[in-house]
Amino acid sequence: MPPVGTVSTVTTDSQTEKSDQAGESTRSLSARVLGLLLPHRRASDPELDATPDHFPLQLEQLADFIAAGDPILFTLPGFPCKSPNPAKVLGHLPDEGERLSLTFLNRLCEEIGALYEPGAQILICSDGHIFGDLINVPDDHIDDYSDELAAMIGREGLTHLATYDLRAVLGDLSFDEKRARVHAQYAPSVEELREQVLTDEETLRLYRGITRFLTEDTVGFTGTRSALQRDCRRRAYGVIQRSRAWGDLIAEQHPRSFRLSIHPQRAGVLKFGIRLLEAADAWMTPWHSSVLHRADGRWELLRSQDAAEVGRLVERDGRPSHYEIV
């Protein structure tokens, strides 16, 4: 027995065993939660037979929530606005592609809740305003898209989802002023990005992917093809700068979160790529395409022009929704 007035620091074998069991339980549950995400991973290393052990950063983040008994918070930059290319999409408002994607994300949270009682929430950090001027989409179209996205979440009863966009920060400043301030505070320099494009395969892949999207989505350009490509390469750097700035702002506003990405990601990095719907192109999203409902029940993302060649247009609430093969 320790002397009177002292505190015993002796740990019994039973206490040690309980502590070890709790730690093992947290690690095991973290791996099981991550296992629910793996089938939907959007990977830039698809040759990897990924297991939870390939994602130590994500396991650590999950363990932090689980050890504290807190709901898991995922942040997902994306759902910016519809492409301005009418050959790709059905309009500037969310349609069946967004509805299916949101329903999938909410269902994923429900599956996590079945494993881990405090459950999970996904904060959709809509990034349309942050680079809308660079992709030639007006801010009022982005507002319409974001508002309808929130309304769709409410109508569908998707209680595990919430939205967040540039309107939530920097008060009543104009969008141009907000973009400028976020860029100045958080964006890497063009010189930094150019160096990374030369030395980092992931950054090069992202740069090429965004340049391709900008080239495809630019309508009404009156210059030469080479002039368009130069313009899109310049704007691609700007989009990456703003995207990274938005990601850093989100991380600052929500420092304790599991970071998802709609872009392909390799194992071991900070962000976990997530695939929303089936598509032949790993970069395709519901806002760059339309949805085709195939006769066997599958839903697939395709350019609207391509989907129209094989399916008939379906409307919902008086608006174009998707295509289906009957």
How many distinct helices (H) and strands (E) make up the chain?
10, 9
pLDDT at 2: 41
SS3 243: helix
Smallest CA-to-CA distance from 276 within 266, 292, 257, 263 is with 263
pLDDT at 221: 84
The alpha helices in the chain, defined as continuous H runs, are 13-37, 56-68, 96-115, 128-131, 139-155, 175-186, 190-199, 201-217, 225-253, 304-310
Regions of the chain short of the pLDDT cut 70: 1-24
Alpha-carbon gap, residue 168 to 123, rounded angstroms = 13
- Domain range summary for the chain, segments of one domain joined by +: 36-186+244-316
SS3 74: strand
DSSP state of 296: T
Alpha-carbon gap, residue 188 to 135, rounded angstroms = 19
pLDDT at 11: 45
Alpha-carbon gap, residue 96 to 161, rounded angstroms = 17
Beta strand pairing call for 258-261 and 72-78 = parallel
Torsion angles phi and psi, residue 151, rounded to 5: -65, -40
| Size (the chain), residues | 326
DSSP string, 20-39: HHHHHHHHHHHHHHHHHHGG
Whether 294 contacts 325, CB under 8 Å:
yes
Q: What is the pLDDT of residues 20-72, one digit of tens each?
A: 444 559 999 999 999 999 999 999 898 999 999 999 999 999 999 999 999 99
pLDDT at 19: 44
Separation of first and last alpha carbons in the chain? 81
- In angstroms and rounded to an integer, the radius of gyration of the C-alpha atoms of the chain is 22
Contacts of 26 (CB under 8 A, 6+ apart): 63, 66, 67
Q: Which amino acid is at 121?
A: Q
Place of tokens 């329903």: 103
Quote the tokens at residue 23: 């730690």
